[in-house]
Amino acid sequence: MTRDLTPGLTTPAPGPAVPAPAGAPDAPGASASPERVGGTAAKSPTPRSGWRRIGLMLAVMGPGLVAANAGNDAAGIATYASAGSQFRYGTLFFMVLVTVALVMVQEMAVRLGAHTGKGLGALIREQFSLRLTALALGCLLLANTGLVVSEFAGIGAAFELLGIPKWAVIPPAAALLWALVLFGSYAWAERIFLVMSLAFFAYPVAMILGHPHWGDVGGNLVIPHLQPSKAFILLAVALIGTTVSPYMQFYAAAGVVDRGAGPGDYKLIRADAVLGAVFACVISMTIIIATASAIGGTGPLQSAAQAASALKPVAGQGAELLFALGLIGASALAGAVVPLSASYAVGEAAGVERSVSRSFRDAPLFLGLFTAQIALGAAVALTPVDVIKLLIGTQVLQGLISPVVLVYLLVLTNRRSLLGDAANGPRYRVAATVVVVGVGAMSTVLLVQTVLGWFGLA
């Protein structure tokens, strides 16, 4: 028995290839490859107009937007708020660079899914050796395990702001998330979580009402203010980890495939990925500015309540309530997306059934792994942990692992044997390489500093 997640989405009929957009030299090919991996012919859409086009857009759009906004979860909010409290506006230029990186990375992920009909896990298994496949999956599972714990810790912290102990909330929250995916409709759950996350739209308002020094904001947006200190590099890697998280690429590609979208839908899928990435990063920058205006220069965050204080210009004494509602929605969304991304990747690599529209009997490995991650994350989150350190620490781990996953993504999208005309063009390939090398360099510097610190040399 299956559950329809995207009613109205149909596979487009064969037709002429879609040409690349005019005026975009060396942009990734927008035309469908002559063949998909495995020999399945690529399909292009028949002409659409009016309501039919709007309906298709609503049906196809989602994976890129959800994947990007899942990054603004409990750990993301803590990291962005800590950037504002520690360095005021000093990380804004770095966030502009991270935004460019996220746009390119998400676009490459959804392009792979649309033009091959396969997720990132399956492509890594087919295009690389068994050892390299195991390395990719090992990195993803390691990063995701800590992240799932942080999502449930975020849910617990949100309810503690409301005076409810985490032990009374985390178990039923885990059971609800699990049931929504296994027995309900994840599509509906996704919408609910996204609606709850709208509370974070209060940050742009808080940013304005907080009366930041706009000259400093503008200067830090366009002029680099990078610092060589270990604290700045640590937070910079955490910003990379929470914004360009490895699970987002696996989820974005798999989500495109699971929805049945193909090469003919690439323009809509690309728009979804790009707009979702930009939207998520704009929200993250408003969090940094709002926090910098409220508590900038006070040092690292010490509690969720301190992060909520940035919303006082909007909600006054209700700032903690507003922050809690947003944190619940964002954490619940990521609490479902993160374990699903790992389940997709492992299911794809193993070549077994993997879809949220399948029953447990049809997809035991996929849904069993999802169940295990939910249970482990909830159990660890119930232990006494420093929530803020846990949240930021998981993002540092994500940042250290991101370069590994990005190398796989770059190699795959460079291969014309895989994507044909949709492979990276020469200029796009150079730009994507710069992104991967830059992320890898930041992670390497942090790793070297950490190792030297163990020996008292840094």
Phi, psi of 119 (to 5 degrees): -80, 175
Tens-place pLDDT, residues 249-300: 888 888 788 777 788 888 888 888 888 888 889 989 999 999 999 998 888 8
Nearest partner of 195 among 362, 325, 318, judged by Cα: 325
**How would you label 64-83 residue by residue, b for 16+ Cβ within 10 Å and e otherwise?**
bbbbbbbbbbbbbbbbbbbb
pLDDT at 65: 60
Integer angstrom CA distances of residue 173 from 138, 143, 329, 332, 337: 27, 22, 11, 8, 15
| CATH code of residue 196 | 1.20.1740.10
pLDDT at 454: 65
35 secondary structure, DSSP code: B
pLDDT at 362: 82
One-letter amino acid at 297 equals: G
17 falls within a domain:
no
Nearest partner of 194 among 60, 334, 304, judged by Cα: 334
31 secondary structure, DSSP code: S
pLDDT at 48: 46
35 falls within a domain:
no
Cα-Cα end-to-end distance for the chain? 58
258 falls within a domain:
yes
Q: How far apart are CA 335 and CA 346, in angstroms?
A: 18
72 secondary structure, DSSP code: S
Please say whether the beta carbons of 77 and 289 come within 8 A: no
pLDDT at 105: 93
148 falls within a domain:
yes
Q: Is 41 in a helix, a strand, or coil? A: strand
261 falls within a domain:
yes
pLDDT along the chain (458 residues), means of 10: 37 38 39 39 46 51 57 82 93 94 92 92 91 90 87 90 92 91 71 71 88 93 85 88 84 80 86 86 92 89 85 86 85 84 84 76 87 92 84 84 92 95 94 91 79 66
305 falls within a domain:
yes
Q: How far apart are CA 26 and CA 276, in angstroms?
A: 22
pLDDT at 458: 58
Residue 236: enclosing H or E segment and its boundaries?
A: helix 230-243
29 falls within a domain:
no
Beta carbons within 8 Å of 268's beta carbon, 6+ residues apart? 56, 57, 60, 61, 261
Q: Is 181 in a helix, a strand, or coil? A: helix
Please say whether the beta carbons of 255 and 66 come within 8 A: yes
Q: How far apart are CA 243 and CA 68, in angstroms?
A: 8
Q: Which range of residues forms the domain containing residue 128?
A: 50-454
Integer angstrom CA distances of residue 42 from 33, 117, 322, 372, 410: 6, 9, 47, 36, 22
229 falls within a domain:
yes
The number of C-alpha atoms within 13 Å of 131 and in the hemisphere containing its C-beta is 0
Largest CA distance in the chain: 66
Q: How far apart are CA 68 and CA 63, in angstroms?
A: 8
Number of domains in the chain: 1
Q: How far apart are CA 254 and CA 363, in angstroms?
A: 15
pLDDT at 189: 67
CA quadruple 96, 99, 100, 102: dihedral, nearest 10: 160
